[in-house]
Structure 1
Amino acid sequence: MILGVALGGPAPVVVAVGDGAPARPVARAAARTAARACVAVDLAAVRTAPVAAIRVGGPCPEALRPVVGSGVATIVRGGHSVTGRRLAPLDTEAVRRFAATCGLADFAVTATGSPMLAEHELAVAAIVASEVPGARITLSYEFGYPGLREREADTIRNAALGPEAGRIADEVARELPGVPVYFARSERGLVSAHYFRRYPLACDLGATASLARGRTALGWGASDADGSGVPDAVAAAYGAALGRPEARVERIVQARGRAELDRVLQHARDEALTRVVSAGAAPGSARIAETTVNPLSYLPDGLYRVRVLAEGDTA
């Protein structure tokens, strides 16, 4: 038996998924023997943690500083160009001072040029980890967007969602001890509870995506809602249960010639396969579902934006 679980209402809605339509209610004793549980949750309204944001790059106007709400932010010297050329040495002492005095445990690190070369983000993460034991650190290169502000905003939000994602994952684990738990992604697919804790932004709109998928699979339209929210929750739970583990890798790469491009593409594919196993796919089932390569306009020749989607079967 596979469970679909929809969170966000007055109480969780749990459905059992077999060969046909979802069935509910599900007895707790039966639920705890399920093969896996697939959880649909939207994170838009959850409580967020204050974040310590570190941008590695040059000075900027006040209006363009990192936006952190109740958190704190700093800009330190360093970073690379979009082609990987170092713009300045990393100011490690500034990073160390900020980490030691900010008083926070959730960090978001964004360096200019990191989708091409993540060296300075990784160095900042090492310093933060040494100064703040147990710090939760999100690095922007893992999101891959070339635009600094967009990448930084997602990095900060991922860091801010981390503690609440951990609480949600813990709560589900307590209710379903021993049952492998997956969370629905915002687009499609699933990720493991471990991956959800690390990259909650991937599941920011998990219930919304699962609802659309569940309605389609069940042949329901929006008019099926009766005002109680229960039909939508059932559809979302069902939609989550239909997913499989997926992971995406997005990078900016530089390649001069087809042979070099093939090498960097293989590296991106290998990374995507590793990531989808981390997202809960059985290692032998991991496979590349899609690879997209687009030249970057208005930039030096040989720069490409690479997106790789990997998928697999639940472990």
Structure 2
Amino acid sequence: MSARNPGTDFDLEWLSKVRVNTQAVLKRAQHIQGLKLPKKQWQTAWLLKAASCIDLTTLAGDDTPSNVHRLCVKAIQPVRYDLLRRMDMHDKGLTTAAVCVYPSRVADAVRSLKAANSCLPVASVATGFPAGQTPLETRLQEVRMAVRDGATEIDIVINRTLALTGQWEVMYREIVQFREACGDAHMKTILATGDLGTFTNIYKASMVAMMAGSDFIKTSTGKEAVNATYPVAIVMVRAIRDYFLRTGHKVGFKPAGGIRTAQEALVWLTLIKEELGNDWLHPHLFRLGASSLLADIERQVYHHVTGQYAAYHEQPMA
């Protein structure tokens, strides 16, 4: 992870001047989706880069110690060893960026990774994920428990009610408290952009989250009706850029929810390169929140190496 974002004082004047040009955002998103994507070995190199930025996630009601263990094993070896060997990539230490689980499964993930001698970070969702509608003290307690059990990254959710009713300072103060509860753990703030209504609201929520000390801002919980979209991402990464230009602090970006294909992963990397530059093309400033994406990336790598597509049963499950 990169240097922490210390946050800034709450600045209502900065927020009140914000106006987002919707047509320009949509046009830019369309342009980025129309760009030519890399092919052949260049595509495979980009896909391995994408794999290294994945927060490999399981957030299901039926999570058990055994499927968390399987997730950890997959995160340590995201692409089959024989495929990496054929590309001379077997000794480059390729892993996903982290594993992401519910707070009650953090101890299972930490145990599995420790047994495998891996120092891969464990991220945990907290603060009443996904709705954020539990009392503040409960949400803070959840953060503390996840950190106590060994989570080194915490994905919090904002209270959407505060964003929708324009109570930005109250939201700022809540996030500051979450940041304190995180201690040394890095904090990713989920905006649940599908619930926020307008691009201007999304920009303001992004800025408030960064002012309050978020190390990352994240699009979605994956549980909303609309999750990570390219126009929303452009609004958020422009907020990241504005924050960096004003404060000198780099904040990371994490799209999550509905990202399933290798092709989409390439578009996300292109968007980051175009909007924020190469500094952000690393796991310490860019993450992809996904559970099924890795299977498709591995399938494309298999095709590059062998000239054929693998059946899904030929790949270790993500």
On whether the aligned pair clears a TM of 0.5, the verdict is no
Structure with larger RCO (C-alpha < 8 A, sep 6+): 2
TM-score (norm 2): 0.34
Quick check: which one's helix share is greater? 2
TM-score (norm 1): 0.35
Quick check: which one's strand share is greater? 1
Who wins on radius of gyration, i.e. which is larger? Answer: 1
